Structure 1
Amino acid sequence: MSTRKIIILNGHPAPSSLSQSLCQTYQTAAEAGGHKVRYHDLSSMQFDIDYGQTGYQNVKPLEPDLAAFLSDLEWADHVVMATPMWWGAIPAKLKGVFDRALLPGRAFDTRNVNVLGLPAPMLTGKTARVLLTSDTPALWLRLIYGNAIKRIISSQILGFVGIKPTRFSSFAPATDAAEKTVLSWQRKVADLGARAA
């Protein structure tokens, strides 16, 4: 397997979490496998999550943490993101990363649209792995909620800017998971990291 360039985003806003543990496990295994990794931790990123009402003609300058994230996203050929599912979606601060950093001219090209009027994606040639933690079992998430959070992440966020395919690994129920369960999840993530999958 060739060496991959991987960006990891721990999308949990707390300084310590299961998401962080999974990201660190993935990073350790990926680096041991010879892959290049750049890591971003949402809890330590400082930026205004509110895009505001200025429109794309007068956007806020990216804060250093967002600028570094976007630069590393452009550099990478594989994107790994861990996120909890809160109220059926991703945390507000994580949504703020996408609202603020995925901008025209860097993430998509509004001057080049397809027959449906959609802008051309500019972050193509990348794949993604999402480590999704929740208290909703994966079967329930699919049958009752139609995998809404997965469709939003894979199609309306990552896929929109050209990052695809997005594969998911679900870990649930997460809140009171037993230690042996967490260890089994970490082994699964370590295997993904070793393979840069």
Structure 2
Amino acid sequence: MSARKILILNGHPGQTSLSKSLCAAYQSAAEGNGHLVRFHDISQMQFDMDYGQGGYHEPKPLEPDLAAFLGDLEWAEHVVMAAPLWWGAIPAKLKGVFDRALLPGRAFDTRNANFLGLPAPMLTGKTARVLLTSDTPALLLRLFYGNAVKKFISRQILGFVGIKPTRFTTFAPATDAPESKVETWLAAAGGLGAKAA
């Protein structure tokens, strides 16, 4: 397998988390197999999450951490994101990354809309893997909630800008998971990293 360019985003805002450990396992295995990895950790990123009143015509200038993230997103062939499921969605700071960084002219082209009026995606040719931690088991997430968070991430964020397909690996229930279970999960993340999958 030829080396792939991989962007890893830890979407948990805490300094330490299962999400961050999953990212580390993925990164270590990917780099061990010769893949090129750039890592971003939202717990370390400094930026204003609020898009504010600027609008698309006068957006806020991107802070250095967001500019670096967007540049690496454009560079990458494969995007890996780890995030916890909080109140049926993703953490606010992670949503803030997408609100601020995925802008017209870099992520999508409003001047080139399709017959439905949707702008042309500008980040095509990339795939994604989401490592989702949750206390809701994957089966119940599908039966009771219709996989809403997965649709939100894969269709309304990543797919909207052209990153697809998005594949998910769910680790649940995550709170107070025994160490043996966590080790199994970390090994699974490493297995994905080794294959850049």
Which bracket does the TM-score occupy, shorter chain normalised? over 0.9
2:166 corresponds to 1:175 = no
In the TM superposition, what is the alpha-carbon distance from 1:53 to its structure 2 partner? 1.9
What is the number of equivalent residue pairs in this alignment?
197
Separation in structure 2 between the aligned mates of residue 186 and residue 17 of structure 1, nearest angstrom: 12
Aligned-residue CA RMSD (Å): 0.4
1:195: which partner in 2?
Answer: 195
Unaligned runs of 5+ in 1: none
In the TM superposition, what is the alpha-carbon distance from 1:190 to its structure 2 partner? 0.5
Aligned partner of residue 43 in structure 1, secondary structure: coil
In the TM superposition, what is the alpha-carbon distance from 1:21 to its structure 2 partner? 0.2
1:17: which partner in 2?
Answer: 17
In the TM superposition, what is the alpha-carbon distance from 1:54 to its structure 2 partner? 1.9
1:158: which partner in 2?
Answer: 158
2:138: which partner in 1?
Answer: 138
* Off by >6 Å, runs of 4+ in structure 1: none
Identity of aligned residues (%): 77
1:86: which partner in 2?
Answer: 86
Aligned partner of residue 115 in structure 2, secondary structure: coil
Separation in structure 2 between the aligned mates of residue 89 and residue 173 of structure 1, nearest angstrom: 16
1:186: which partner in 2?
Answer: 186
Matched to 2:69, the amino acid is F
In the TM superposition, what is the alpha-carbon distance from 1:85 to its structure 2 partner? 0.4
Separation in structure 1 between the aligned mates of residue 23 and residue 17 of structure 2, nearest angstrom: 10
Matched to 1:26, the amino acid is Y
TM-score, normalised via structure 1 length:
1.00
Aligned partner of residue 167 in structure 2, secondary structure: strand
Separation in structure 2 between the aligned mates of residue 142 and residue 46 of structure 1, nearest angstrom: 34
Unaligned runs of 5+ in 2: none
